Amino acid sequence: MKPGDVTSGSAKLDKSWKKLSARWEATKLEWHDSVSDEFEDRYLAMLEPQIIATLQRMRSLAGVLTTAQHECDH
């Protein structure tokens, strides 16, 4: 990943979040008690909206950087 490459970073974050979510769903099939519920509520549930917002902002930033680079090249 080169400096200023927001697209690669957002792709990695998106892929990692999907992987974590899938693994958590598989884990919940075996681990389903009050502790797993607390873990999900305390950590995972709060992460999802933050990750979605971060991905949206990173995509927006990538667009701004692309526009700026295009304008500087011309």
Give the model's pLDDT for residue 22.
Answer: 97
Q: What percent of the chain has pLDDT over 90?
A: 76
Contacts 24+ apart (CB under 8 A), 62-68: 62/6, 62/7, 62/10, 65/4, 65/6
Q: CB within 8 A of 40, min separation 6: which ones?
A: 24, 28
| pTM of this structure | 0.78
At residue 3, φ and ψ (nearest 5 deg) are -55, 135
| CB-based burial label for 65 (10 Å; 0-12, 13-18, 19+) | middle
pLDDT tens digits for 16-51? 999 999 999 999 999 999 999 999 999 999 999 999
CA-based radius of gyration for the chain: 17
